[in-house]
Amino acid sequence: MINWQYYHWHLEISGKCTLQCPRCPRTELPDTPWINKELDLDFVKRLFPQNFLRSQVQRITLCGDVGDPIYASQFHDIVEYLKETNPDVHLFIVTNGSYRKLAWWQRLALTLNDRDTVNFSIDGYDQQTNNLYRRNSDWDSIMQGMQTMCRESQAFINWATIVFSFNQDHLDLIEHLAREQGCDGLQLTHSTKFGSKYGQAYQAEQDPLEPRPEFVSDTHRYHRIYKPLSHRRQDNGDYLAYNLARYQDIIDSKGQDPIVPMCEIGNRGLYVSADGVLHPCSWVSFPYTTLTHGTKTIKYQDSFHQRYRDRLNLHTRSLEEITTDQLWSKLSCGWKDTEHTWVECSQKCSRDLVNKEYAVQWLTN
């Protein structure tokens, strides 16, 4: 039986990025502790010894919350170690795709196989519109990288777009461009980071980025729509079936618990920040000034993972030491009653947000 904690991971191998997106934590909170830090190959090998990687790990998401994985100094070395050790592991790489050379993409194309996915995060339809949010991105290098991966790689290549005011009426054009490049799919994300949801931060009546209401998620989680663009379909092995079965077991076993955690079934991968701190998921790690949900408010510096960073640091403690620490068991305590529920968990994984349709959607995208 695959351990629920270990079969899906989310690694922030780079806290570095060339972009200046206005809603990114590196822009909103530039003192975030893992900005411009990175994980190296030695760290990844310690975290994923060969036997562990082959027997326990099914999916590894390389996606930045404050950075972009392609800017990690040892990106290729890390990806090659993971794929050479376990060719069946599903690597899910999310990147803006800017500024890498042709040879860089060709090396990645040779490493990945048909179990892997690369999402290019592109919100515009040319240099000018893409820079309205992905500021300091480079359209030509993004297109070159995408074309190279579509042409030379076995991996599934997706064009991933957040819907904003500036692109909401051009989604057909974006789909046309994605097909023209040879992408396997188009992912449209309805976000929540707009003034109507966070008025104090984004000025509800003046938020220039906010699209029409039908393109804004009606919860505190994003909503995604995936449209296949090619005849190819990805083989997820037993991952989907296992997750759905586990999901139903968790729903049934939780009874009336206020939280049904996405991390416990691997829907949200165990998250390791660029400075090596372990979190149950990236939602819990996400930096903010203050976070409010219902009657609870918490400041970022007072959050669990900020207070206990030293005890959760994989640079100085092993995975076993951290996950068997009594401190880690406080996670489950926070899922069982409203008095101890974390603000982050109640906002993202409260029972009223749980449904099997959401699990199917996420897992099949």
**Pick from 360, 306, 296: nearest CA to 334:** 296
Is residue 310 within 8 A of residue 299, CB to CB? The reply is no
For residue 65, the model assigns a pLDDT of 87
171 vs 204: CA distance, rounded Å:
24
Distances (CA, A) of 341 to 253, 306, 348: 18, 17, 11
pLDDT for res 234: 78
pLDDT at residue 237, as a whole number:
61
For residues 245-259, average pLDDT: 70
Assess whether pLDDT exceeds 60 at residue 360.
no
Helices (H), the chain: 25-28, 41-47, 50-55, 75-85, 102-111, 127-130, 139-152, 171-181, 199-202, 239-253, 282-285, 304-307, 319-323, 330-333, 343-349, 356-364
Tally Cβ neighbours within 10 Å of residue 195: 18
For the domain 8-228, what is the CATH superfamily, name and number? Aldolase class I (3.20.20.70)
Provide the token pair at 361: 């959607």
Q: What is the mean pLDDT of residues 327-348?
A: 75
Predicted confidence (pLDDT) per residue in 18-36, tens digit: 999 999 988 888 877 778 8
Q: Spell out the domain ranges in the chain.
A: 8-228
Q: What are phi and psi of 83, to 5 degrees?
A: -75, -35
Per DSSP (E only), the strands in 202-281 are 223-228, 270-272, 278-279
How far apart are the C-alpha atoms of 98 and 71, rounded to whole Å?
10
Dump pLDDT digits (tens) for 146-179. 999 999 999 999 999 999 999 999 999 999 999 9
pLDDT at 363: 53
